[in-house]
């Protein structure tokens, strides 16, 4: 710790713009109940890589007893932002607000290496821009469909690339035709609600089948689904990475787009996006033109499984004879508190057998851009999760977040497992459409 405590002259290391709240920091009573669910503590057993340790580091910096030097930053960087500690905490410490504020302080007040800066810039300028992701589809499709990917993988050529690029390649989903979503999908039968659909960024371009299934299921249940074409990225990746100013700009554009759509409910199907838009009231609290509108917008946001669980099912479900292992995405279970709804929806599909994955509270290692910036830790967590899934002998793994889908697919593939990982809504869609389980092979 000594190296963290030099040269601070008793002044807070944080600037005054949204500094991590001392009130929240003081709520931590150091009980340690959060330690067993913290993925980095589980991996490394180090106090400073636990929630309690990180809160202590924030306190030191706030009190002027530590600088935000490289070592200090590394412990904050290694946090997945999975929020498992918040679910476990008996004192109600709002760790989510602390880590987001701390990360924004790091990005404003510390200097990253040139390589890190370039890598982060590439990720933010690519993954938050659906247009750029769309441009990448064709070369990536050619890479996969021409057989080049199989050759490159088979010959082990990927090992010649830097680790972070290897990880990106391993996470690439099997690309098929992009399923476009109509700006308005009419309700089947009498309209029960008019809902807006958040399309996401990576999901919009690389897992478009999930958005298409979401629109179909909502429509089948009587929702008119509006997917505003001009909606930007919601900014989730930026918030979680401390890029506050850029995230605020995207949040404003998202609110504008959905206000114009005039919907009663805003539906998310990517847990990371859902947890972000539900916090717009906090993100835009100082924006005079948007603060109130952001609170109203956030109050309308719901995960698709919350929306469906609220409505008496109308569409007939056909049987799916599948053993399904359900994986709780952290941003659904911990950040949004949504656990029972996806299970309830899945268990109402005739013949479907739902099985639980042990250690459900612990992250699979996806966590926004975590698997791209900390590939070793992310792979270790992915391998741990895949090792818990394998003995379940499931036909399919279901979850509610695109990042988890890609992460677990890659982790299962490393074990030679071909178990498909699908979004919960894809199973509901298949059941409502009466598809045979052959759809899993596509």
Residues in contact with ligand SF4 by the rule CB under 6 A: 28-34, 37-40, 51-52, 54-55, 79-85, 88-89, 91, 93, 95
Q: Minimum CB separation from ligand SF4 for residue 334, in Å? A: 8
Q: What angle, rounded to 10 degrees, do the helices at 375-389 and 402-414 form?
A: 80
Nearer to ligand SF4, 31 or 299 (CB): 31
Q: What is the DSSP string of 195-255?
A: EEE---SHHHHHSHHHHHHHHHHHHHTTEEEE--TT-----HHHHHTT-HHHHHHHHHHHH
Q: Minimum CB separation from ligand SF4 for residue 53, in Å? A: 8
Nearer to ligand SF4, 102 or 265 (CB): 102
Q: Minimum CB separation from ligand SF4 for residue 74, in Å? A: 13
Read off φ and ψ for residue 94, nearest 5 degrees. -85, 75
Q: Minimum CB separation from ligand SF4 for residue 369, in Å? A: 14
Nearer to ligand SF4, 91 or 135 (CB): 91
Instruction: Classify strands 421-423 and 265-268 as parallel, antiparallel or unpaired.
Output: unpaired
**What is the strand order of the sheet 353-356 is part of?**
353-356, 323-326, 396-399, 421-423
Q: Say how far apart CA 78 and CA 113 lie, in whole Å.
A: 16
Cα-based distances in Å from 182 to 64, 221, 260: 54, 17, 16
Tokens of 48: 């400073």
Nearer to ligand SF4, 34 or 364 (CB): 34
Q: Given the structure tokens 């200090």, which residue do they identify?
A: 72
Nearer to ligand SF4, 275 or 431 (CB): 275
Q: In sequence order, which residues have a C-beta less than 8 Å from that of residue 171 and are 6 or more positions away?
A: 371, 372, 406, 407, 410
SS (H, E, C) 37-95: HCHHHHHHCCHHHCHHHHHHHHHHHHCCCCCCCHHHHHHHHCCCCCCHHHHHCCCCCCH
Nearer to ligand SF4, 34 or 217 (CB): 34
Nearer to ligand SF4, 33 or 143 (CB): 33
Contact 168, 293 (CB under 8 A): no
Nearer to ligand SF4, 83 or 425 (CB): 83
Q: Minimum CB separation from ligand SF4 for residue 290, in Å? A: 27
Q: Minimum CB separation from ligand SF4 for residue 46, in Å? A: 11
Interior angle at CA 91, CA 87 and CA 97, nearest 5: 65
Read off φ and ψ for residue 255, nearest 5 degrees. -60, -45
Q: Minimum CB separation from ligand SF4 for residue 85, in Å? A: 3
Q: Minimum CB separation from ligand SF4 for residue 243, in Å? A: 18
Q: Minimum CB separation from ligand SF4 for residue 3, in Å? A: 22
Residues recorded for the chain? 442
Gyration radius from the chain CA atoms: 22
Nearer to ligand SF4, 238 or 304 (CB): 238
């Amino acid at each position: 710790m000594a190296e963290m405590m030099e040269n601070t002259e008793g002044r807070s290391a944080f600037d005054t713009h949204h500094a991590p709240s001392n009130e929240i920091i003081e709520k931590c009573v150091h009980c340690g109940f959060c330690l067993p669910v913290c993925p980095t503590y589980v991996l490394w057993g180090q106090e400073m890589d636990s929630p309690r340790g990180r809160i202590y580091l924030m306190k030191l910096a706030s009190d002027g007893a530590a600088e935000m030097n490289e070592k200090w930053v590394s412990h904050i960087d290694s946090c997945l932002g999975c929020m498992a500690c918040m679910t476990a905490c008996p004192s109600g410490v709002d760790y989510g607000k602390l880590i987001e504020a701390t990360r924004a302080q790091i990005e404003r007040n510390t200097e990253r290496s040139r390589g890190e800066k370039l890598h982060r810039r590439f990720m933010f300028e690519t993954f938050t821009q659906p247009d750029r992701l769309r441009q990448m589809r064709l070369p990536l499709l050619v890479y996969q469909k021409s057989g080049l990917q199989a050759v490159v993988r088979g010959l082990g050529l990927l090992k010649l690339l830097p680790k972070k690029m290897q990880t990106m390649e391993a996470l690439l989903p099997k690309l098929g035709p992009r399923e476009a979503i109509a700006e308005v999908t009419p309700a089947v039968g009498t309209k029960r609600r008019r809902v807006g659909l958040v399309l996401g960024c990576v999901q919009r371009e690389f897992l478009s089948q999930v958005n298409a299934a979401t629109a179909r299921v909502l429509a089948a249940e009587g929702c008119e689904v509006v997917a505003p074409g001009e909606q930007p990225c919601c900014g989730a990746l930026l918030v979680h990475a401390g890029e506050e100013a850029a995230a605020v700009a995207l949040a404003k554009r998202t609110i504008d787009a959905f206000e114009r759509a005039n919907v009663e409910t805003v539906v998310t199907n990517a847990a990371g996006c859902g947890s972000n838009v539900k916090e717009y009231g906090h993100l835009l609290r100082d924006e005079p033109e948007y603060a109130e509108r952001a609170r109203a917008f956030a109050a309308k946001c719901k995960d698709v499984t919350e929306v469906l669980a609220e409505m008496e099912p109308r569409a007939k479900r056909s049987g799916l004879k599948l053993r399904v292992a359900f994986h709780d995405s952290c941003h659904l279970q911990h950040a949004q508190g949504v656990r029972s709804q996806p299970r309830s929806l899945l268990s109402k599909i005739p013949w479907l057998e739902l099985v639980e994955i042990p250690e459900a509270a612990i992250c699979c290692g996806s966590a926004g851009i975590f698997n791209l910036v900390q590939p070793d830790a992310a792979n270790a967590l992915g391998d741990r999760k895949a090792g818990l899934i394998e003995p379940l002998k499931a036909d399919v793994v279901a979850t509610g977040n695109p990042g988890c889908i890609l992460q677990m697919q890659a982790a299962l593939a490393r074990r030679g497992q071909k178990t498909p990982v699908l979004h919960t809504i894809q199973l509901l869609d298949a059941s409502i459409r009466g598809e045979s389980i052959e759809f899993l092979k596509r």
